[in-house]
Chain A
Amino acid sequence: MKKLLILFIALTSLTSYGQNPAPAKPQTKTIALMGGTVHIGNGQVIPNGVVMFTNGLITNVVDGTTVRLDLTNVETIDVSGKHVYPGIISPASTVGLQETGAVRSTVDKQEIGVLNPNVRALIAYNTDSEIIPTIRNNGVLLTQAMPQGGTVSGSSSVMMADGWNWEDAVLKKDDGIWLNWPTYFSREFNFEDFSTVIKKSDKRDPAIAALRATFADARAYAAMTNPTPANLKLESMRGLFSGKQNLYIRADYAKDLIEAVTFAKDMGVKKFVLVGGEEANRAIPFLKENNVPVILSALHRLPNREDEDVDMPYRMPGILHNAGILVSLSYADEWWRTRNLPFQAGTAAGFGVADREEALKMVTSNTAKILGIDNLVGTLEKGKQATLFVSAGDALDMRTNKIEHVFIQGRKVNLDDRHKRLYNTYKEKYGK
């Protein structure tokens, strides 16, 4: 029975993986997108803009009503009435790391053990995942492949939603180390009434002590050249102390996040990012003083407490942004749902972020800044990579998010995906 099941999964995997469209070919000819509403991703909009890119890089973004570009040898695409956006970036994602949630053999998102800074998510990143083409189809063109589990989970990398293998697909290798801060409150499931009891954790002190020792050792190790014996775990953390890598701190409760950020500072970590932040609104002065950017977990969640405002999760980006904190939106550890990330920006705009372009930044340029890739992507500006898409309408609203063109580093991406294929197959069945 078991064997049969495995065989079954193997067969379906083989057949279906083979159906993803081939990765796009490198850009050979300059392309100009003409006449669209260009959302730069930094808050600005050009209503009748032209976006031109060559060899994968943006060469011009101009107002088409006032500027005339030389279009000799340029492939022009008329996108008038449509919208051009920088590729949406999904941070803290498990796209490529898991395929089918309930099938263990397709899940590679977490390692056993407590301290795994040396584990690297990009190694397991599966460019043949059938999830990837589906997220491109809503404008999500970059994801941060993030490891989970333990206290220190490993390092993440920023991946493009196109490529033959992970080496092709990676945009930034090992951009940061992930830390799950031991929580002040622990949750216990109560089998008597099937409720969850949340109470002060009595197990965290040893965990924090172990973290402190590890970070102290890693910091000392980082000061050595060619240490012997070499230690893979400590070696992998060097970047934290030189500022090359972010420390991504997962914490939600205000006390946890204050404690965790203070810890990181004490340990000499140069750059840190708060991830989750479901109760970051209680620590706003602290976050501002310490210049901590926040990657919020999915806004499409329930309030944490019975008495909490019903719309608090939706309002959180606005609350933090209006207080001057750099905010990015994520779909937390969801994979297939990542395609809905643009709509979270829409929700933010509907609930307190006054400007839709500001909300767009939370899934583009803000995220790029936080991940340290803002020199490459995140806005439609000259010199940046041509990782962008064209939507028939407002991409932050599901009614109008209709993706017509996708370019990743200027490569024109085939927009086919598993869902469209099955759709077309069955349209054929019904003769429509």
Chain B
Amino acid sequence: MLKRFLTGLFVFGLVGSSVAQTTFPRNGVYDERPGLYAFTNATIVVDPKTTLQNATLLIRNGRIEAVGTSVSVPAGAVVTDLTGKTIYPALLDIDSDYGMPEVARSGGRGGRGGVPQYESNKKGAYYWNQAIQPENEASVLFKADAKKADELRKLGFGAVLTHPHDGIARGTGTLVTLADDLENTLVLKPTATAHYSFSKGTSGQQYPNSMMGSVALLRQAMYDADWYKKSGSKEQANRSLDALSRTSSLPAIFDANDKMGVLRADKIGDEFGIQYIIRTTGDDYQRLEEVKATGAPLILPLNFPAPYAVEDAWDADNVSLAEMKHWEMAPLNAGRVANADILFALTTADLKNKADFWPNLRKAIENGLSEQKALEALTTVPAKLIKADDLLGTLQKGRLANFIITSGNLFSPDNVIYENWMQGKQYIVANKNAADLRGTWNLTVAGLDGRDRSNLKLTITGKTPGKPEFQLMVDTVKTTPKVTVSDDFISMQVQLDRRKGTSRLTGYRTGNTIKGDGETPDGKVVTWSMTRTGDAPSSTSATSTTGAVAAATSTTAVGTLLYPFVGMGNVQKPKPETMLIRNATVWTNEKEGVLANTDVLVSGGKITKVGKSLAAPADVKVVDGTGKFLTSGIIDEHSHIALLSINEGGQSSSAEVRMADVINPDDINIYRQLAGGVTASQLLHGSANAIGGQSALVKLKWGEAPEGMLIKGADGFIKFALGENVKQANYPNPNVLTRFPQSRMGVEQVYMDHFTRAKEYTKEWADYNQLSTKQKATALAPRRDIELDALAEILAKKRFITCHSYVQSEINMLLKVADSLGFKVNTFTHILEGYKLADKMAKHGVGGSSFADWWAYKMEVHDAIPYNAALMHNEGVTVSINSDDAEMARRLNQEAAKTVEYGGMTEDAAWKMVTLNPAKLLHLDDRMGSIRVGKDADLVLWNANPLAIYARPEITMIDGAVYFSLKDETAKREALQAERARLVQKMLSAKASGSSVVRPTARRSRMWHCEDVEGMVEGEH
């Protein structure tokens, strides 16, 4: 056990463990040693803020006994003179999988023809979902791995926090050192942290199969753990919930993917009073303000994207400006995070090649990260975050003797890490006593061809003493001899006479002289010697100067941030303006109808005046509306843009999921739709299941983070769905379908069942809430169920249904279910057969949100007709025309115009179908959907009658801020091209100077429609 592994220069320490092995029988004699070492005359970086010169570090039995400039060295200490060398605390990485079992990538997630797995396959008293496995303990799973430890030790790491990277609740992390020893010794803190992520990992269970499902599952599990602690354990034994509740007070680390993940994870933490430490992917600089506002400490990776091969101008079109900018700006991330005063640690995770750690860290330093912050991020900060600062992170008395000995400044490019001491044990990375051979030497070889060759000039250069480079002048020819140096032995292969071949010289060093003998190509033995004559011609300093120059150039020409971080993003987030639109034709959607030659004043985000020849206030921006048309912005009642996922199809009901958790403000479709006059959208869950998820009502504020897009104070909505998608009628492999329901009969029962339970749940809580405090103390609290919460809100008329529907029989069904259980359906969406029962819809008071002319794409739209909207409207149903499609949403004005063609709607009524009516259906008509004083200034200025095919928006504003301006488009496009061109030049020179490049590929995020299930073959609407 003592000697697990010996590799290369890595020499195992002499001292055996003294603690852990006490309980172990020995095969041999005891070999416990005092472990008393003194390191003298060193520069000691006690912590990132304290550096001592000419100081002593004294360690005993793996702990620091003293550090300072006046430490007296006790008798019996092994003394090492470290004159000219520096001691740093060893580095700490808190996102490691060191010593953890390999996480197998799961193949069978079902959906692609495989049999879907709806229930847990894990035997035992665990949670119902395999992605929740807080019972996993890293300290139990941990097995030291000498090869991987070695890799990290070389970089200067002394300890890592390791955990299994699998699942949503992943279990606990354990703090271990990177020594080669018994696990009993290595584990410093068995249960240090709790770990979470958004990825279900190896779980093959269907649920969750979306990001919002991951969020919901974790939230529910947290509520369940609380319930289990309070009362649930009386009902059942559940190791997962037990573990989740027990570990709730540990420092919690959340692997959050990206910048949006940081915000998402923090929101979950807020709900449960937990401040997560959040591991990011290094794009935080793109949303620094919002990331900082979370207050979360971060763990940042140091992997940076490679430049793209952009030689071919056409192929290079596939690389987006955002990708190019991220290539340039990723190394700035740590520095910007630091400058924003966000607490952060650095990790080697994500580095495919761990040896890139130092070059990349130096790159981050060149790009604005201070050395002190870098050191803190690798020592004190991570130690404090995981509450291990009593053990690690500094070289104060009492801490573990985990430190590294370096040649100088740890962050300098020519620094050498000589030794890495762990728990008082020495690991040699490079020989600190190795002679520095760099310099000029005179080589003399005697007896060669009967004559001596003397005073051959040998120059030894190199960045570090450990990596010398040799150059030998033979006559006037420069040669590069092959040389091996091993401690004081040196062997060289030299071409002393080019015609004859290689002579081999072997010798040993004494001070500034090296002597020995060797063999000529013809086997003749010769003697040789060489003597140092002086310093090498400044090669080391030249290298570092070049480094400094490179640093200067790489920091100068860095591009600007964009909000969002997309080519078409804004340099600055748009702000509300005071604006007067003069002399436009104003379509009010109010009883005034269309007003010719009218002015509209906008201020503070609201419409403040509507009238003729309004007086212009000071500092107002005047827009000439002559010959143009002003309307309120288009509202899309049914949209799936700006979302990271659409369907949580793992169950027949996913009422617990929230689309607000998966808003993607970087989706270019937001901007494209602004260019089509859309200002607000209901971002809906898909139609994969009978009860979908909770909608996000947003304004298309291009540049804002998700919270800034959400419409404050809007009512809650939820998606329901009927028909073919719900019963999985068009799935590619019908033979493997096992999810209930598979028929329209079953769909009804899903509703009956869920609402019956929601009623009981409501009552259960009402009964409990009526109890006195005293009674509550003894009563069992009901379990909080976030799915039933959402359904209870529907029953309480606090949440409203938008139901995907096609066929009249099922529409009728839901109306009956609603009537019998006492709730209302707010809106039927698609509703292509609404015309068949418009009378019943009007009676129920439900609205219809439809396509203008879609049909024929599947069986249940066989009876769809473009006259549907007109027929429903004429029966008194509030009708809107929606998109469900990123492309069609760009021209919803044209879709509205189709109701004029089909069914003869008036232009006024047609226009309301994409403005006021969707506002009504979304309960936003008190503030949106028409031009009236006091309403939100969500306005569009059109070049023509907005219903005409020839119409296009010239200005689209939201809350009085201009988000699209046709006039500014040219400048914006030119700026985009200029920025691309600059980065192309930069990438070309990066490649020319030897950087490896990646071929241009384009990553296009999915265009979602409502029936797209993740992992399913793409379907249609």
Residues of A within 8 A of B (CB): 9, 12, 16, 99-103, 131, 185, 190-191, 193-200, 253-255, 282, 300-303, 305-307, 309-311, 335-336, 339-340, 343, 346-347, 349-351, 396-402, 418-420, 422-423, 426-427, 429-430, 432
- Given A422-B865, A426-B871, A103:B858 Cβ within 8 A: yes
Q: Which residue of A lies closest to B857 (CB)?
A: A101
Instruction: Determine if B672 is an interface residue (Cβ-Cβ < 8 Å).
Output: yes
Q: Which residue of A lies closest to B743 (CB)?
A: A1
Stretch at the interface among B713-721, B762-770, B1004-1012: B1004-1012
Least CB distance, B281 to chain A, in whole angstroms: 12
- Given A307-B568, A398-B900, A9:B859 Cβ within 8 A: yes
Interface residue ranges of B780-799 to A (CB < 8 Å): none
Is there contact, CB below 8 Å, between A199 and B866? no
Interface residue ranges of B657-681 to A (CB < 8 Å): 668-669, 671-672, 675
Is there contact, CB below 8 Å, between A432 and B1001? no
Measured between beta carbons, the chain A residues less than 8 angstroms from B901 are 398-402
A12–B1007 Cα gap in the complex (Å)?
Answer: 33
Q: Which residue of A lies closest to B945 (CB)?
A: A399
A195–B1006 Cα gap in the complex (Å)?
Answer: 5
Q: Which residue of A lies closest to B949 (CB)?
A: A346
Measured between beta carbons, the chain A residues less than 8 angstroms from B675 are 310-311
Is there contact, CB below 8 Å, between A102 and B1020? yes
Interface residue ranges of B875-907 to A (CB < 8 Å): 875, 886-888, 890-891, 894, 897-898, 900-903, 907
Measured between beta carbons, the chain A residues less than 8 angstroms from B945 are 399
A396–B916 Cα gap in the complex (Å)?
Answer: 27
Is there contact, CB below 8 Å, between B949 and A396? yes
- Given A100-B858, A430-B874, A349:B1001 Cβ within 8 A: no
Measured between beta carbons, the chain A residues less than 8 angstroms from B949 are 343, 346-347, 349-350, 396-399
0/1 string, B388-401, CB within 8 A of A gives 1: 00000000000000
Measured between beta carbons, the chain A residues less than 8 angstroms from B952 are 311, 350-351
0/1 string, B977-1021, CB within 8 A of A gives 1: 000100000000000000000010111111100000011000110
Q: Which residue of B lies closest to A184 (CB)?
A: B315
Instruction: Determine if B24 is an interface residue (Cβ-Cβ < 8 Å).
Output: no
Within 8 Å by CB of A306, from B566, B836, B1001, lies B566
A400–B867 Cα gap in the complex (Å)?
Answer: 15
A340–B888 Cα gap in the complex (Å)?
Answer: 13
Is there contact, CB below 8 Å, between B897 and A336? no
Is there contact, CB below 8 Å, between A397 and B1004? no
Instruction: Determine if B317 is an interface residue (Cβ-Cβ < 8 Å).
Output: yes
Measured between beta carbons, the chain A residues less than 8 angstroms from B1001 are 197-200
Is there contact, CB below 8 Å, between A100 and B862? yes
Instruction: Determine if B314 is an interface residue (Cβ-Cβ < 8 Å).
Output: yes
Measured between beta carbons, the chain B residues less than 8 angstroms from A303 are 672
Is there contact, CB below 8 Å, between B973 and A423? no
A432–B314 Cα gap in the complex (Å)?
Answer: 59
Stretch at the interface among B237-245, B318-326, B424-432: B318-326
Least CB distance, B353 to chain A, in whole angstroms: 21
Is there contact, CB below 8 Å, between B874 and A336? no
Q: Which residue of A lies closest to B321 (CB)?
A: A307
- Given A198-B1002, A335-B856, A310:B871 Cβ within 8 A: no
Q: Which residue of B lies closest to A98 (CB)?
A: B856
A131–B853 Cα gap in the complex (Å)?
Answer: 12
Is there contact, CB below 8 Å, between A99 and B856? yes
Q: Which residue of B lies closest to A13 (CB)?
A: B862
Least CB distance, B855 to chain A, in whole angstroms: 6
Is there contact, CB below 8 Å, between A426 and B567? no
Is there contact, CB below 8 Å, between A350 and B871? no
Within 8 Å by CB of B318, from A305, A350, A429, lies A305
A193–B662 Cα gap in the complex (Å)?
Answer: 13
Is there contact, CB below 8 Å, between A300 and B887? yes
Is there contact, CB below 8 Å, between B318 and A302? no
- Given A197-B1001, A305-B317, A305-B320, A399:B856 Cβ within 8 A: no
Some 18 contacts from A to B, beta carbons below 8 A apart, are: A100-B856, A101-B858, A102-B1019, A102-B1020, A131-B856, A195-B1005, A195-B1006, A196-B1004, A196-B1006, A197-B1001, A199-B1001, A302-B886, A307-B568, A310-B890, A310-B969, A350-B951, A398-B894, A398-B901
| Contacts beyond the supplied A16-B862, A196-B1006, A349-B950: 9 A-B pairs with Cβ under 8 Å | A99-B856, A101-B858, A102-B724, A193-B1005, A195-B1005, A302-B887, A311-B952, A349-B949, A419-B866
Measured between beta carbons, the chain A residues less than 8 angstroms from B322 are 306
Is there contact, CB below 8 Å, between A430 and B1006? no
Least CB distance, A326 to chain B, in whole angstroms: 23
Within 8 Å by CB of A397, from B669, B874, B950, lies B950
Least CB distance, B40 to chain A, in whole angstroms: 54
A29–B188 Cα gap in the complex (Å)?
Answer: 101
Measured between beta carbons, the chain B residues less than 8 angstroms from A306 are 320-322, 566-568, 668, 1004
Least CB distance, A128 to chain B, in whole angstroms: 14
Is there contact, CB below 8 Å, between A426 and B835? yes
Q: Which residue of B lies closest to A255 (CB)?
A: B314
Q: Which residue of B lies closest to A347 (CB)?
A: B949
Measured between beta carbons, the chain A residues less than 8 angstroms from B903 are 423
Measured between beta carbons, the chain A residues less than 8 angstroms from B857 are 100-102, 336
Measured between beta carbons, the chain B residues less than 8 angstroms from A426 are 835-836, 838, 871
Instruction: Determine if B976 is an interface residue (Cβ-Cβ < 8 Å).
Output: yes
0/1 string, B123-157, CB within 8 A of A gives 1: 00000000000000000000000000000000000
A200–B730 Cα gap in the complex (Å)?
Answer: 32
Instruction: Determine if B947 is an interface residue (Cβ-Cβ < 8 Å).
Output: yes
A402–B898 Cα gap in the complex (Å)?
Answer: 11
Is there contact, CB below 8 Å, between A195 and B1004? yes
A190–B947 Cα gap in the complex (Å)?
Answer: 39
Is there contact, CB below 8 Å, between B875 and A430? yes
A282–B315 Cα gap in the complex (Å)?
Answer: 12
Least CB distance, B428 to chain A, in whole angstroms: 41
Within 8 Å by CB of B672, from A310, A420, A430, lies A310
Is there contact, CB below 8 Å, between B862 and A427? no
Q: Which residue of B lies closest to A188 (CB)?
A: B1001
Q: Which residue of A lies closest to B948 (CB)?
A: A397
Q: Which residue of B lies closest to A403 (CB)?
A: B901
- Given A196-B1004, A197-B1001, A350-B950, A102:B900 Cβ within 8 A: no
Q: Which residue of A lies closest to B729 (CB)?
A: A102
0/1 string, B842-859, CB within 8 A of A gives 1: 000000000001111111
Is there contact, CB below 8 Å, between B568 and A310? yes
Least CB distance, B555 to chain A, in whole angstroms: 26
Is there contact, CB below 8 Å, between B317 and A399? no
Is there contact, CB below 8 Å, between B859 and A194? no
A290–B836 Cα gap in the complex (Å)?
Answer: 55
A102–B858 Cα gap in the complex (Å)?
Answer: 5
- Which 8 A-B pairs give the minimum distances between C-beta atoms? A346-B949, A102-B858, A307-B567, A350-B950, A336-B856, A199-B1001, A423-B867, A101-B857
Is there contact, CB below 8 Å, between B856 and A194? no
Measured between beta carbons, the chain A residues less than 8 angstroms from B867 are 419-420, 422-423
Measured between beta carbons, the chain A residues less than 8 angstroms from B654 are none
Is there contact, CB below 8 Å, between B1014 and A194? yes
Most buried by B among A197, A340, A426: A426
A399–B566 Cα gap in the complex (Å)?
Answer: 36
Instruction: Determine if B469 is an interface residue (Cβ-Cβ < 8 Å).
Output: no
Q: Which residue of A lies closest to B324 (CB)?
A: A307
A309–B952 Cα gap in the complex (Å)?
Answer: 15
Interface residue ranges of B330-357 to A (CB < 8 Å): none
0/1 string, B566-584, CB within 8 A of A gives 1: 1110000000000000000
Least CB distance, A278 to chain B, in whole angstroms: 12
Is there contact, CB below 8 Å, between A398 and B856? no
Least CB distance, B315 to chain A, in whole angstroms: 7
Is there contact, CB below 8 Å, between A199 and B897? no
Q: Which residue of B lies closest to A16 (CB)?
A: B862
Measured between beta carbons, the chain B residues less than 8 angstroms from A282 are 314
A343–B901 Cα gap in the complex (Å)?
Answer: 12
Least CB distance, A307 to chain B, in whole angstroms: 4
Within 8 Å by CB of A336, from B112, B855, B859, B976, lies B855
